[in-house]
Structure 1
Amino acid sequence: MPVEKHSLSRRGLLKAASVAVAAGTFGAASLSAAPRAVAAPAGVLGTIIDFSAGVPSAASVKAAGHIGAIRYVSQRRPGAEWMLGKPVSLKETQDFANNGLFTASIYQFGRDTTADWKRGAAGVAEHAPQAIALHRAAGGPTGVPIYVAIDDNPTQQQYTTLIRPYLQGFQTALKAAGYSMGIYGNYSTIEWAIADKLGQFFWQHNWGSNGRIHPAIHLHQFQNSAGKVGGVEVDLNHVYKANWGQWQAGKTATPQVPANPGTPANPGTPSTRYPDINIGGSSISGQQLEQGLSLAQQIAQAIR
């Protein structure tokens, strides 16, 4: 697996932090109910693009009428060397900022049989530090979300056993480092995640959504392979909310992060932020979890 050039010498440290980073709060929500039949979000505010085959110039993106792009804070996976647009670079985001365009960040390394979520909570220790480090290297500030990709049409069982623990661990790691979490998924995945109080931003894809658009989404990927911008094949996305997790390199972002449905906007802060948990018969105290996440954050800063 490709890693940042400074990561190899810190592999042992990442392993040491892995249990704490991978762990989350494992509350369960009922999955027996079918997704609610509800109205789509109102009002398209603009369009953004996503791409991986290359990097179009900001001028070409602006000329095409888009307000920005959502970009990968992840490396190219083996066999996908054609993805010349991964990962996003500081040069690219500075070009966007200089042209009045915005960037948002998403992590996705594997796909299909190698999908990141298929490792469950255990995969977070590898993925979260890379997402954070690449986001920072590209000029991304704290106080914004990093989206996590569920680029599939999963079953409820897959969500319960693998996706939910993966998202719980990722959300815990991002929160400790000063970020919120976005989720890229289909209608059902977003519905289940909201029921489990996972994610604060949502980007929906159409696979398995059966024509439905979830009312909570910030972004909707409505057309794949929609043509080329600046010579690069792109997908098109509608923007439904003014704050979709966007940022500009060199600027401190302090957006109003929306509260998750059913979650207090300003929850209290206990002395230890994380509960004691049990994974596979092994107990981890909230204090140990907090220390492990602090270590992971320090590692991400060190490889910045």
Structure 2
Amino acid sequence: MQDAPLTTGRRRSPLVSRRDALRYATAASALAGLGATAAGAGIPTASAAGPTLIDYAMRQIPAQDIRAAGHSGVINYVSTSRPGSSFGAKPITLPYAQSLTAAGLVIVSNYQYGKPGGTAPSDFTRGFAGGVADARTAWHLHTAAGGGRSAPIFFSVDDDIDRTTWNNVALQWFRGINSVLGVQRTGIYAGVNPCQWAVADGVIGRSSSPGHVWAWQTRSWSRGQIYPAAVLYQRVIDTASNPGPVVGGIRVDVNDVLASDCGQWNLHP
């Protein structure tokens, strides 16, 4: 996700294959729920395939710029900046959230404080107690900004981990999160494998869109695969070598909406 300076160089996997892209386009064309909501509220859709949400951390992007770029909303942070950094969009604030909502844009919550090689370790390495602490912080910031009481928060596994690391490290962190928020309000941001492991181990909740769970899948570490149960897919990832599109003067990541209920606040009061 886009929570690093523009010079960051995280390892990324190749673009999805043409076959998977076509498979996604077919699925996305059925996003009647969010599409209808967008049409009814005057929210632009980014493409014929379906709505898109952007994520970013450098600073708050004015709502009118997001609308003008053709996006339906945002995935914003309910976490603070790491030591030594000062991201203007972390955490989302009540006035900013109100400006987005007033413009007819939807909001989804994400938590990420640490990162690999950063000034704070990856959040998923912090164990059960760390999960408890992170969930409490996320929920406080989410609700302070006006986030829905039944809305999920997506917690980040921003690294290429194997099953052993999942079982022995990340899973314990998610269990801690669950102990505070409950499974139904817990989501995951990760590559394709951790998204599936989170479902198998019962640590993330389910969307009201049939067949979908609170999985925000990144293209990174997914080897061209798209998890059919995911609600969001991070298709465009801003890096120094592959810049993302510019919205409101900064580069952003772009996420395809795969389900009409992707955890947006307005559906989860």
Percent identity reads: 34
What does 1:272-287 correspond to in 2, within 5 Å? none
> 1:111 aligns to what?
115
What does 1:2-21 correspond to in 2, within 5 Å? none
The answer to whether the Cα contact below 8 Å between 2:66 and 2:73 also exists between their aligned partners in 1 is: yes
Q: CA RMSD in A?
A: 1.8
**Which SS does the other structure have where 1:236 is aligned?**
strand
> 1:223 aligns to what?
236
CA distance in 2, matches of 1:241, 1:45: 10
The answer to whether the Cα contact below 8 Å between 1:60 and 1:229 also exists between their aligned partners in 2 is: yes
Q: CA deviation at 1:124?
A: 1.7
> 1:101 aligns to what?
105
Q: CA deviation at 1:170?
A: 0.6
The answer to whether the Cα contact below 8 Å between 2:132 and 2:179 also exists between their aligned partners in 1 is: no
**Which SS does the other structure have where 1:71 is aligned?**
strand
> 2:196 aligns to what?
191
> 1:60 aligns to what?
65
Aligned positions, number = 211
Q: CA deviation at 1:148?
A: 0.6
The answer to whether the Cα contact below 8 Å between 1:45 and 1:241 also exists between their aligned partners in 2 is: no
TM-score (norm 2): 0.75
CA distance in 1, matches of 2:146, 2:198: 29
**Which SS does the other structure have where 1:112 is aligned?**
coil
What does 1:244-263 correspond to in 2, within 5 Å? 244-248=262-266, 253-254=268-269
CA distance in 2, matches of 1:245, 1:107: 14
Q: Which amino acid aligns with 2:218?
A: H
CA distance in 1, matches of 2:166, 2:197: 8
**Which SS does the other structure have where 2:142 is aligned?**
helix
CA distance in 2, matches of 1:173, 1:125: 6
The answer to whether the Cα contact below 8 Å between 1:148 and 1:182 also exists between their aligned partners in 2 is: yes
> 1:139 aligns to what?
146
Q: CA deviation at 1:253?
A: 2.9
TM-score (norm 1): 0.66
Instruction: After the TM superposition, list the runs of 4 or more consecutive aligned residues in structure 1 that deviate by more than 6 angstroms.
Output: none
What does 1:154-193 correspond to in 2, within 5 Å? 154-175=161-182, 180-193=185-198
The answer to whether the Cα contact below 8 Å between 1:120 and 1:161 also exists between their aligned partners in 2 is: no
> 1:69 aligns to what?
74
CA distance in 2, matches of 1:253, 1:210: 32
Unmatched 5+ stretches in structure 1: 1-38, 255-304
**Residue 80, structure 1, aligned to residue 98, structure 2:** no
> 1:209 aligns to what?
222
**Which SS does the other structure have where 1:160 is aligned?**
helix
> 2:258 aligns to what?
240
CA distance in 2, matches of 1:46, 1:246: 13
Show CA shifts across 1:89-109 (max 9, x none). 111110111111010101110
Q: Which amino acid aligns with 1:217?
A: A
Task: Give the alignment partner of residue 131 of structure 2, picking from 124, 132, 143.
Answer: 124
Q: Which amino acid aligns with 2:161?
A: P
Q: Which amino acid aligns with 2:158?
A: D
Unmatched 5+ stretches in structure 2: 1-19, 29-48, 206-213, 239-243
CA distance in 2, matches of 1:216, 1:168: 21
**Which SS does the other structure have where 1:93 is aligned?**
helix
The answer to whether the Cα contact below 8 Å between 2:111 and 2:154 also exists between their aligned partners in 1 is: yes
Larger radius of gyration: 1
**Residue 89, structure 1, aligned to residue 93, structure 2:** yes
The answer to whether the Cα contact below 8 Å between 1:45 and 1:242 also exists between their aligned partners in 2 is: no
CA distance in 2, matches of 1:171, 1:146: 11
